[in-house]
Chains A and B, each alone.
Chain A
Amino acid sequence: MEPTYHDGGVNFCWRVPYLFSGPKRYDVVAVRFAGSRVMLLKRVVALEGEQVEFRDGKLFVDGKEVKEHYVLYPCNWNLPPRWVEKDCVYVIGDNRNMPMENHYFGQASKNRIVGVPLW
């Protein structure tokens, strides 16, 4: 999530925001990656039923380019369009300064979204 959050930093997960409502677009969320302790910090870029794709490093949601002010490092990712399934959100990290294959991103079940970072 560089540069928004730095590697090795310490944070707390605030669970309350998603007790009564789901994640919203551009929220930075903690995704439960394995067990109850391994979390990933990612940004929600698309919601269920929306179409996501990358063209030459630019993110498109439902065919419209998304201006991502939080991404500082450019990338050249290309990802064919895909639909976000029911009860899922599409999450990506802010640090795109790496090959697409090495970056953990994609569609995550809302059940896996634990909360938001406290700061």
Chain B
Amino acid sequence: MVKIRYILLAVLIVTVGIVVVFYFLPSEEKKVRKQCHLLSEGVLKSPEENAFTMLQKMKNIGALFDEHCELKAPSQSLSGSYTRQEISTYAGSARSFFSQLDLKFYDFHIVFPEKEVAKVTLTARLTGRSTAGEQVDETRELECILKKIEKKWLFSAIEVVEVLKK
């Protein structure tokens, strides 16, 4: 009788353990979303931001990208292949034009077309104020490819979807 009780207890512990692991261990989808949120955090800028924070954020943004990343933005002159370092520098330069900046992502649609490749379609909304005092509020649909490199999901391509082609 005592033996059965121990077996039942062991089964219960194992079951609870499995549930806890599945519940708390982040899925690949959650990890991909987290990378997007980290990008949002990197772009976020408040008027009080100091030089140290700015440099840290530039570094953080660069760390989210693959060694080479393809950018495709039909209406802007950004299209091309950039190194991690170039993206970091470009992000820093772009942020310097704004006194306040906020990037939010919505409507995530994540698929895994191949092993260790994630394709994310999402809505990006960039709001803020330029240093000249102009209000910025832009919304676009983005298609991002992230690759899992050394257990990290890194952006390897970002395309601004061209909905209206003049």
Q: A interface vs B, CB < 8 Å?
A: 31-38, 40, 79, 91, 104-109, 112
Contact = CB atoms under 8 A, between A and B. Distances in A.
Given A34-B139, A36-B107, A37-B107, 20 more contacts: A31-B163, A31-B164, A33-B164, A34-B107, A34-B123, A34-B141, A34-B163, A35-B107, A35-B123, A37-B123, A38-B123, A91-B164, A104-B164, A105-B164, A106-B164, A106-B165, A106-B166, A107-B164, A108-B163, A112-B163
A20 to B, nearest CB: 24
Which of B122, B123, B166 has the largest number of chain A CB atoms within 10 A?
A: B166
Nearest to A105: B164
Contacts of A107: 164-166
Contacts of B107: 34-37
Nearest to B140: A34
16 contacts: A31-B163, A31-B164, A33-B139, A34-B124, A34-B139, A34-B161, A35-B107, A35-B122, A35-B141, A37-B107, A40-B164, A79-B166, A91-B164, A105-B164, A106-B165, A107-B165
Interface string B103-141: 000110000000000000011100000000000000111
A105 B122 contact: no
A83 to B, nearest CB: 11
Contacts of A38: 123, 139, 141
A1 B166 CA distance: 17
Given A38-B123, A38-B139, A33 B106 contact: no
Nearest to B161: A34
B136 to A, nearest CB: 13
Nearest to A85: B165
Contacts of B140: 34
A71 B26 CA distance: 53
Contacts of A40: 164
A36 B164 CA distance: 16
A85 B124 CA distance: 27
Nearest to B105: A35
Given A38-B123, A38-B139, A33 B163 contact: yes
B107 to A, nearest CB: 3
A106 B15 CA distance: 57
A35 B166 CA distance: 21
Contacts of B141: 33-35, 38
A1 B38 CA distance: 36
A11 B140 CA distance: 21
A37 B109 CA distance: 13
Contacts of B106: 35, 37
